Amino acid sequence: MAKIICIDFQNLLIFYIVSEIEVNIMDFPIINNLKALRQAAGYSQEEVADAAGVAIKAYNRYEYGIREPKVRIANRIARFLNTTTDQIWSSY
């Protein structure tokens, strides 16, 4: 039987329909690391999005784990934040 999981990330609702598997939000480490690294560097989402050459909406989706950036975009983000892609995707 399928079940619906609703997750609220700062007023952004995400619904998952899950059947026969459990979804653990901690399986998506980019959600936590990308936001934390951006905030530690003192940048807004808009500033990072501009530096990466993507729309703010696309960057927001990366930060909240809705989508993963392509490798070239991830590299741009990492360079701008003065970090590595490994740190962005590493578990905490």
Reported as a pLDDT band with limits 50, 70 and 90, residue 91 is: low
52 inside domain? yes
The residues, ordered by sequence, that sit 6+ positions from 54 with a Cβ below 8 Å of its Cβ are: 69, 73
Overall domain count for the chain = 1
36 inside domain? yes
Alpha-helical segments (H) within the chain: 30-41, 45-52, 56-63, 71-80, 85-89
Strand, helix or coil at 27? helix
33 inside domain? yes
Q: Which residue has the tokens 């360079």?
A: 79
19 inside domain? no
The model's pLDDT over 43-77, given as tens digits with 9 standing for 90+, comes to 999 999 999 999 999 999 988 878 888 989 999 99
pLDDT for the residue 56? 95
> pTM for the complete prediction?
0.65
45 inside domain? yes
14 inside domain? no
CATH number of the domain within which 84 lies: 1.10.260.40
16 inside domain? no
Q: How far apart are CA 42 and CA 36, in angstroms?
A: 10
The domain containing residue 53 runs over which residues?
28-92
Strand, helix or coil at 11? coil
